[in-house]
Amino acid sequence: STPMFSRNDFSVWGFLKKCIGMELSKITMPIVFNEPLSFLQRITEYMEHTYLIHKACTLSDSIERMQLVAAFAVSAVASQWDRTGKPFNPLLGETFELTRDEEGYHMISEQVSHHPPISAFYSESLNQDFSFHGSIYPKLKFWGKSVEAEPKGTMTLELSKHREAYTWTNPMCCVHNVILGKLWIEQYGTVEIVNHSTGDKCVLNFKPCGMFGKELHRVEGHIQDKSKKKHQVIYGKWTECVYSIEPKVYEVNKKAEKKSGGDSKKHKQVKSVRGDDADEMPDVQETVTMIPGSTLLWRVAPRPPHSTQMYNFTNFAMTLNELEPGMIGVIAPTDCRLRPDIRAMENGDIDTASQEKERLEEKQRFARRERAKDEEEWSTRWFQQGNNRYTGAADWIYKGGYFDRRYSDLPDIY
């Protein structure tokens, strides 16, 4: 992959002024905002820490399993840190497959709707231990200085050996300083993971950064059983690590910390006084203090050394667009790896990337007009609309069959 180019020579403000308060999915964004991956590939990054699910499958205690599921839910959003490039909007019918024999799973995703943009995904372990699936409708709102993304959609994790299903929704994400200053990201909101078989629940609070930036990246929560008895406290940062500890020990520690005035260090105030300044990113405090008696559940892998020149990609993200020789003629013709605008951007050819992006979007509009003429409905290929078995919410259910490799009737989207 070729290093990225600077956005500074582009009048971002001139472009974005026109968009205040609008739903961003309706706006064609200039390519300089992008990173060379499709949103379908970005979703695949939920799978980076699959070893946590494999480990959960081996545990006999449901509270211990929940600890690892909670760690997985946090780890799944960890790659967002500093990822300020916008993934390409998938074209309707676009797909992405990932097979990871070493990590023992494969995954398929499909863009199942264009307005609103909805991406459905399904992954399962190669030995049928688990499946993890869901659909995401990333609702983006522009607030003048920041872009807020609400990832609507349910995550469902099924552990077959334990006959268990867990569901949750991901936290909100906000990109600050889209106009001016250094871009930075915070995630916030309550994530509630429910074990539908036992009634256990894990309530995770992704904290907003707060006035003095003390809370930036922090996650804190607890696991309770169906009688609401607290079993474990979970704490850490989604950018770093997650620990688990007994609630009593945690409470004692918190009290002692308050007494000793552990927070008396002067913190720089974050919110700007004048409305038109950049929101300064708080200095990231070093960092998660491990309380004695805690168990480490998960730690983030370090980014590769040249990550900052490569859209802040993780090692995992860097492999997603690789078109290996054995894939040609095997993966579906709708796979993102075959998408010419993303490929051109990855090769550092911005002009071609921009032209190709326009051509593909126009081709998609033309196909939609043709269908409207013939009063033809778009039919999805690998997923169908349905309801989540456990929550009853609207969802997209995998129909199966993708890996049979019968691709004769796929749409020509590139």
Q: How far is CA 372 from the centre of its chain?
A: 33
Predicted confidence (pLDDT) per residue in 346-402, tens digit:
999 999 999 999 999 999 999 999 999 999 999 999 999 999 999 999 999 999 999
- 3-class DSSP state of 91: coil
Q: How far is CA 190 from the centre of its chain?
A: 16
The per-residue pLDDT of the chain, averaged, comes to 89
> Considering just the CA atoms, what is the radius of gyration of the chain in Å?
22
The strand pairing partners of 37, in sequence order, are: none
Residues of the chain with pLDDT > 70: what percent? 87
What residue has token string 């993200």? 317
Instruction: Count how many residues are written for the chain.
Output: 414
Cβ count near 98 (within 10 Å): 18
Q: What pLDDT was estimated at residue 339?
A: 97
The closest of 373, 367, 317, 312 to 94, measured between CA atoms, is 367
C-alpha dist (Å) from residue 257 to 231, 250, 274, 289, 291: 22, 11, 34, 11, 11
The strand pairing partners of 360, in sequence order, are: none
State the pTM of this model.
0.89
**Where exactly are the structural domains of the chain?**
12-404
What average pLDDT does the segment 313-323 reach?
95
Contact 338, 322 (CB under 8 A): no
C-alpha dist (Å) from residue 41 to 47, 224, 313, 339: 11, 34, 12, 12
Q: What pLDDT was estimated at residue 15?
A: 65
Residue 264 has pLDDT above 60, yes or no: no
Predicted confidence (pLDDT) per residue in 21-61, tens digit:
666 666 666 787 889 999 999 999 999 999 999 999 999 99
Give the single-character DSSP code of 207.
P
Contact 43, 211 (CB under 8 A): no
CATH of 12-404, one of 3.90.10.10, 3.40.50.1860, 2.40.160.120, 3.40.50.720: 2.40.160.120
Residue 267 has pLDDT above 50, yes or no: no
What residue has token string 């040609």? 328
Gap between the Cα atoms of 206 and 202, Å rounded = 13
Contact 99, 257 (CB under 8 A): no
Give the chain's largest Cα–Cα span. Answer: 73
Q: What pLDDT was estimated at residue 2?
A: 57
Q: What pLDDT was estimated at residue 177?
A: 84
Q: Which helix (H) or strand (E) holds 157?
A: strand 155-159
Contact 414, 337 (CB under 8 A): no
Q: What pLDDT was estimated at residue 153?
A: 92
Residue 263 has pLDDT above 60, yes or no: no
Q: What pLDDT was estimated at residue 146?
A: 84
